[in-house]
Structure 1
Amino acid sequence: MSKPVYLVPAEGLKVRHPLGGHLKPEGDHVVLDSYWRRRIADQSVTQGNPPKAAKPAAGKE
C-alpha cells in the first residue's frame, strides 16, 4: 500500500482529485499512487508540509 503524502497544487492550477472534485488550494493529504505520481512529474502538484494546527484558545477563568 502506498503512503499518504501532503500535496499542494501549483500556483493558479485547479487539480482534479480522482475521487471527485479538486485538490484544495491549500493542499491535502492523499495516498501516493500512480495518478498523484504523474501529477508530481508534470509539476501540477508539489509535496508540501501540512499547516500547523491552531492551538486552542485559553479559556477565561
Structure 2
Amino acid sequence: IRYPFCSFLRPRWFCDHYYCNRQLQTYMYLLLLLDELVLNELLKMLTSLIIATIAFFRLILD
C-alpha cells in the first residue's frame, strides 16, 4: 500500500508501507509537539499582555 503523502516526501520506489507509516507517525508527532510549544508560548504572551494591560489601566486610573 502506498500513500499519497509518501511519494510527496520520498520517491515511490523508496517508499514501502512500513516506512511510510513510520514517516507519518514521526511527522505527526513533531507537528503535535510544535503545536503544543507554540500554544504554550502564545498563552504566556497572552497572559503577560493581559497583566500588562491591567497594570497600565491601574496606573492611568489611579
Same fold (TM over 0.5): no
Q: Give the structure with the higher percent helix.
A: 2
TM-score by length of 2: 0.29
| Larger Rg computed on CA atoms | 2
TM-score by length of 1: 0.29
Q: Give the structure with the higher percent strand.
A: 1
Looking at both structures, which has the greater relative contact order when contacts are Cα pairs under 8 Å and sequence separation is at least 6?
1
